[in-house]
Amino acid sequence: MRIELTPVGTQPDILAIGMPEADPYNVPAVVVQAFGPAIGHMLEDEDFTGKAGTTVEIASFNKLCRRWLLVVGTGTGSNDDLRHAAGVAADFARSKGARALDLTLGGAQSGPDEWVRAVVEGAIAGNYRFDKYRPEGERKHPTKYFRVNDNGGQADAAQLGKLHGLAQQVARDLVNEPADAIYPETLAAAAVALAADNLKVEVWDEHQIQEAGMGGIWGVGRGSARPPRFVHAKFTPSSGAPKKKIAIIGKGVTFDAGGLSIKPSSGMQTMRCDMGGAAAVVGVMSGLVALDPDVEVHAIFGAAENMLGANAYKLGDCLKMYNGKRVEVHNTDAEGRLVLADCLSYASELGVDHIIDLATLTGAAVVALGEHYTAMYTDSDEHAADWSVAADAAGEGLWRMPLEPLYREKLKAKWGAIKNVGGREGGSITAALFLKEFVSPDIPWAHFDIAGPAFLSSKDRYLDEGATGAMVRTILRYLEAV
C-alpha cells in the first residue's frame, strides 16, 4: 500500500472534520455555508458527543465537492484522541472505496508537529486491512492520498508519521500472513530484503545454529519439516559515531502448535501471531535507513516452528543453550523463552549498551493487563522511564511489572540449571526471570511481553481484527530520541 500526501489538484472524496467534546456542534463556517445552519441540529439529533472516534456520516450531494462529509469526535484534542479520530476517518474512507481523504481535525493540545504525526499514524493504521486472500469482489482498495490540514506546513512531521505508520504496517502484514506463507526461511528472507549499505543482514541455517550451540532455537525448531533460522542485522548510522548501541530481539515462532505439550485446536487457530516480536523487529528495520537514528542497532531474532515431528524436543530434555546453561524442559509450549534465551546470550557478546526483547510470551500477561497494555520488565528505573516516555508519545499502552527475585525459586530445576516454567502463579514474571538468566548482568535489559496487544480477535476502535504491529512505533520513537 502506498501512502502519499495529497498532491495539488487531487480532490478528496471525503472531508473529515473534527469536533471536540467541549464544543461538539460548533461546525466550521464552510460546512454551515454548504449545508445550512440545520447541520448543527442534525448532529444533536444523532446524539453526537464529540467523544474521540464517534462519527456522523453525511452524504454531501456535491455540496462540498465531496462524496461524503464525516464529522468525527476528537475528544479532548490529545494526540491519542486525534490518532483515534484519524484512524476512524481512514477506516470509513476505505469502507467507501475513497481514493483521497481530507483530514481537518484541529483542536490539538500539543504543538503542530506532534499532532500532525499522530494524525498521519492514525490514518495509516485505520486504513489498513489484510484482505489479500479474500475474493476480489469483497476487497476494498486502500485510500491512496491523505490531506492533513495542519495550518503550518509540517511536512517533515507528516513524513515521520508516515514512516512510523508504514513500519507498523510491515509488522502487521508479516503476522497476518498464514503460517504456510511465513515460516522460518521466509521470515528471514523478509529481513534480508531490507538490507542496505548501512543495514547488513546475516542469516544462519539450522546447521550453523547447531554448530553455534543454540540449543534453544534448535530444540524448538527441530520437530518441524521447516528448519529454524537465526537472523542478525546490524544498522550503522550515517554519523559513523553512534551515541548508543542497542540490541532489539524478537521472538519468531512462526507457528506454535505447542510441541508435544500440544495446544487445543481453539488455542492453535491464531498461532501464526506467535512471531509478533520478530515481526516488530523487521518493522523497525524497515524504518531505520530512512529515519537514520544516531544509534547502532542490532536487530536479532530466532525463527522456528514449534511442531510435533518425530524429532521434536521432549519433556524432561535438558537443552544446552548458547551460554552453556542447561534448561530442563517441563513444558514444550513454553518455547518462546528458549528461542529468546539463545538470542539474548548472543546479544550479550556484542558490546551493546542496552538490550530489549519483544515477545508474545505469556497468557499470564494478557490476564494481568488485557489487550491494550504491553507488560514491561526491567531492573533499570532510568530505562523504564525512557521507554514509558516513548510509548506515551507513540500512543501505545505500556505498564511496568515487578521483576521479583523471590519468584526465581519457582524456576529451580532438579537436573538442569533452570527449568523453563515456574508454575501458573506469576507466569509472566517467572518467564521474565527466566530470560534474565541469559542476559549479561552488566547490560541494562528490558523485556516486553506483547501477548495482549499484538493480535486482536475482533476489531478494536480503528484497528482491524488481527495483527497490530505492537511496539514498532514505540521503539522507533525511542531510537529517534537518543
pLDDT digits (tens, 9 = 90+) for 252-309: 999 999 999 999 999 999 999 999 999 999 999 999 999 999 999 999 999 999 999 9
Which residue among 244, 245, 263, 461 is the active-site one? 263
Are residues 307 and 454 both part of a single domain? Answer: yes
Contact predicate 290/282, CB 8 Å: no
Percent over 90 (pLDDT), the chain: 86
Indicate whether 195 and 305 sit together in one domain. yes
- Residue 163 inside a domain? The answer is no
Domain boundary among 93, 120, 151: 151
Name the 3-class secondary structure at 235. strand
Average pLDDT over residues 42-57: 95
Whether pLDDT at 212 is above 90: yes
The CA-CA-CA angle for residues 69, 72, 76, to 5°, reads 150
Domain holding 438: CATH number? 3.40.630.10
* Exposed/middle/buried for residue 132 (C-beta within 10 Å: 0-12, 13-18, 19+): exposed
Which band of pLDDT confidence, cut at 50, 70 and 90, is reported for residue 38?
confident
Q: How far apart are CA 343 and CA 338, in angstroms?
A: 9
Mean pLDDT of all residues in 353-363: 98
Same domain for 136 and 222?
Answer: no
Q: 232 with 107, same domain?
A: no
189 and 304 in a single domain? The answer is yes
Catalytic residue, from 83, 94, 337, 436: name it: 337
Please indicate, yes or no, if residue 162 is contained in any of the structural domains: no
Domain limits at 252? 168-481
Asked if residue 225 and residue 130 are part of one domain, the reply reads no
Same domain, residue pair 182 and 70: no
Query: Mean pLDDT, to the nearest integer, of 451-475?
Result: 97
Residue 236 belongs to some domain of the structure: yes
Is residue 327 a part of any domain in this protein?
yes
183 in the same domain as 94:
no
Residue 66 domain flag: yes
Task: Give dist(CA 414, CA 110) in Å, integer.
Answer: 56
The band of 250, judged by pLDDT with boundaries at 50, 70 and 90, is: very high
Let me know whether 268 and 365 are in one domain: yes
Residue 161 lies in a domain: no
pLDDT in tens, 104-137: 987 555 667 899 999 999 999 999 999 999 999 8
Residues 183 and 284 in one domain: yes
Q: 151, 181, 202 — which closes off a domain?
A: 151
Residue 55 pLDDT greater than 90, yes or no: yes
- Give the start-end residues of each E strand in 55-113: 55-59, 68-75, 100-104
Q: Are 191 and 83 part of one and the same domain?
A: no
Q: Model's pTM, two decimal places?
A: 0.96
pLDDT of residue 110: 62
In a domain? residue 157: no
What total number of domains does the chain contain? 2
Same domain, 89 and 201: no
Q: Determine whether 134 is an active site residue.
A: no
Tens-place pLDDT, residues 147-170: 887 655 578 899 999 999 999 999
Known active-site residue 272? no
> Is residue 158 domain-resident?
no
CATH number at residue 57: 3.40.220.10
